[in-house]
Chain A
Amino acid sequence: MQNFAESFRLAFDLLISLDADLLEIVGLSMQVSLAAMGFACAIGFPLGALVAVTRFPGRGAVIILMNALMGLPPVVVGLVVYLYLSRSGPLGWLGLLYSPTAMIIAQTILIAPIVAALSRQVLEDLHGEYDEQFRSLGLTRLQTIITLLQDARYSLLTVALAGFGRAIAEVGAVIIVGGNIDHLTRVMTTAIALETSKGDLALALALGIILLVIALSVNACVMGLRMTARRYAYA
């Protein structure tokens, strides 16, 4: 319990003092996770929409695969990305290993299936409601997908948030491809792992508390946005 009390005090002190190292770690965490979320949405939303509105042989298997990929083990993804980006790997010439870019790639691979699978479900439900009207209006498949993505925008925010939540809390993949290098690839989760291994549990817990505060803040913002949208019947 002493650790918890000390951790809260330390977290508070770190935040109040705007500790430069802490801000750097938090900044990189946000930068990497937001970028991964952006790329994952750019891949996952259209993919989810396409599967939602299209009927083709094997569609059920594709949906099962998309859902299964939501549970991709981060360390496996980290290992595969590591093998591709390592000097002897097929993409080794890019020199990306142990860089924030490598971390973004790994996190994108991890959360794109989450975004795709969840958005597929959201958009399929909406499509069921709109389908006859859209066909009556003569919308093409592309127009249908674009309109669905626009009209489901507030639900898709929640989907994006789920992806962000997975990314910001992820440690296995980023520590393998990022290496937890101070001032270069150290993010909150890898810093927590490091401080724990060094026995500085108070600092590790303080970082954990800050991570939770960030996650809560982002969730609260999106929830507020959704509630506003629902109030005006747009969601």
Chain B
Amino acid sequence: MPDDQTMTPPLPDIQQAPLVAAFDLTLVIDGKRLIDQIGFTLGQQSRTIILGPNGAGKSLLLKLMHGLIAPTDGAVRWQPQPDGGPRRQAMVFQRPVLLRRSVAANLDFVLKRQGKADIADRREALLDRIGLSDKAGQAARLLSVGEQQRLALARALATEPEILFLDEATASLDPSSVLKIEQIVQEASAAGVKVIFVTHDLGQARRLADDVLFLHRGRIGEQAPAEQFFRRPASPDAAAFLDGKIVI
């Protein structure tokens, strides 16, 4: 992961040190302000759901946080590890991008980069976790889309991330695949991985969210604990979105 986001502005004076803080985060492309002076902090131990209508800038925000794109202005600052090193991050994309290799080789590719000695054991454990042990030798691109996404998730987890980004990772998957992926995400979260999940699926948001970042037209519409957000949304846009109204 590129760590060029660990930037200059100091953390704000807040009572509890956040895992990540964004300051005036802005992304302008072709004169359009797609992310517009966003500022927020996220805590360590929770599943954060970034929610909002299509085109709100959810995926762009995720990529800005992950460092895949550089902001036009502002910064994202991650709390460094105790040893001062960057936080390990991994991302699962909406469309799984798998190498033109076998299922096992896709995992080995990451495990070898980790320099692990017990690659075979780790691979077996990951395959067992995602329910693909019997397809280890199969070409990854011959898996169903749901299986491919599970493999992409396993590959992300193989990096032993502290922060796991998921960008609409279950969009267009069948319910059983969605359930399986949500289970794996919940297990990872329970094991201490910070999960930041982009979705526009309200049901999924209700199932997974500890706290919600509601995005609308490139700005933070609302940030609140999930229970509060779903029971009494503070912003009219969030309320309309939760009511199933068309929010543009």
Contact surface of A with B, Cβ cutoff 8 Å: 129-130, 132-133, 135-139, 143, 147, 151, 232-235
Contacts and interface: CB of A to CB of B under 8 A. Distances in A.
A132 B97 CA distance: 9
Contacts of A151: 99-101
A41 to B, nearest CB: 19
A136 B101 contact: no
Interface in B116-149: 139-142
7 closest cross-chain pairs (CB), A and B: A233-B141, A233-B139, A133-B97, A136-B91, A151-B100, A233-B142, A234-B100
Contacts of B90: 136-137
Interface residues of B, number: 22
B190 interface: no
Nearest to B91: A136
Interface of B: 1-2, 63, 66-68, 89-91, 93, 97, 99-101, 109-110, 113, 139-142, 159
B161 to A, nearest CB: 10
Contacts of B110: 137
Contacts of B109: 147
B2 A138 contact: yes
A34 B215 CA distance: 59
Given A132-B68, A136-B90, A232 B139 contact: yes
15 contacts: A132-B63, A132-B68, A132-B93, A132-B97, A135-B68, A136-B66, A136-B93, A138-B2, A139-B113, A147-B99, A147-B109, A151-B99, A151-B101, A233-B141, A234-B141
A235 B68 contact: no
A151 B142 CA distance: 15
Secondary structure at the B interface, as helix, strand, loop or mixed, is mixed
A129 B109 CA distance: 17
A232 B90 CA distance: 28
A83 B120 CA distance: 57
A137 B113 CA distance: 9
Given A232-B139, A234-B139, A136 B99 contact: no
B117 to A, nearest CB: 20
Given A136-B91, A137-B113, A137-B159, A129 B97 contact: yes
A233 B89 CA distance: 29
Nearest to B159: A137
B100 A136 contact: no
A234 B63 CA distance: 28
Given A138-B2, A234-B139, 14 more contacts: A130-B97, A135-B2, A135-B68, A136-B1, A137-B1, A137-B90, A137-B159, A139-B113, A147-B109, A151-B101, A232-B139, A233-B140, A234-B100, A234-B141
Nearest to A232: B139
Contacts of B68: 132, 135-136
A46 B89 CA distance: 30
Given A151-B99, A232-B139, A133 B93 contact: yes
A123 to B, nearest CB: 13
A147 B105 CA distance: 12
Contacts of B66: 136
Contacts of A133: 93, 97
User: Most B CB atoms within 10 A — which of A136, A138, A139, A232?
Assistant: A136
Contacts of A136: 1, 66, 68, 89-91, 93
Contact of A233 (B91, B93, B100): B100
A231 to B, nearest CB: 9
Nearest to B109: A147
Nearest to A129: B97
Contacts of A232: 139, 142
A234 B99 CA distance: 8
Contacts of B89: 136
A147 B99 CA distance: 9
A2 B136 CA distance: 60
Nearest to A133: B97
A93 to B, nearest CB: 47
Contacts of B2: 135, 138
